[in-house]
Amino acid sequence: LLRTEFHLWSFDIFMFARVSQGRPLRFIGWEAFCRGSCFSEFAIDPGKAAAFFCEVEKLYLTEEGTPYHNNLHAADVTQTLHALIVGGSIDKFFDPMDILGLTLAGVIHDAGHDGRTNSFHVNLQDNLALTYNDKNVLESFHLSQGFKLLANQQNTNFLQGLPIEQIKVLRREVISMVLATDLASH
């Protein structure tokens, strides 16, 4: 399935979730990095990337925990981004950093999502709303979860081999992309 259909719009993420025993994101993230030339274009440690994909998937609830913003959704978004870029033949408009950033943004864009909305958290004035000052509450939280996983755990920091300037550019791009998923910002 990955070998023959990963680049297609018609990729069956639900079937793949069953084949991967409910853990599709770790495999989809890996495949998108491989096919997007992330390992060949950047000094990314494959072992740390594999550990990152496993750990970031644990931050997501499964379909039983939340019906939409779950690990299946993150895998679907990541694969769809890849299909759009490669299958849609628009890859010539993206440099390698863009591909890495889009893939990472797809993987982490809903990390830790609890299935509720920004409005719910703001109206409740809970810890998330207070931490992120009522603005892009969940999106800021998702970014924080993803970047903390990279920064705080040596075994998952696959960016460690990149020059600091590349990390800064990547971080800026990923932050911009994930914040843009808050429809209230449009």
Q: How far apart are CA 32 and CA 18, in angstroms?
A: 19
* Cβ neighbours, 10 Å, residue 145: 17
Q: What is the DSSP letter of 92?
A: G
Q: How far apart are CA 178 and CA 174, in angstroms?
A: 6
User: Which tokens in the block code for residue 2?
Assistant: 């990955």
| Selected catalytic residue, list 7, 69, 109, 121 | 69
Q: Is 113 in the active site? A: no
Burial (Cβ within 10 Å: 0-12, 13-18, ≥19) of residue 73: buried
| Active-site annotation, residues | 69
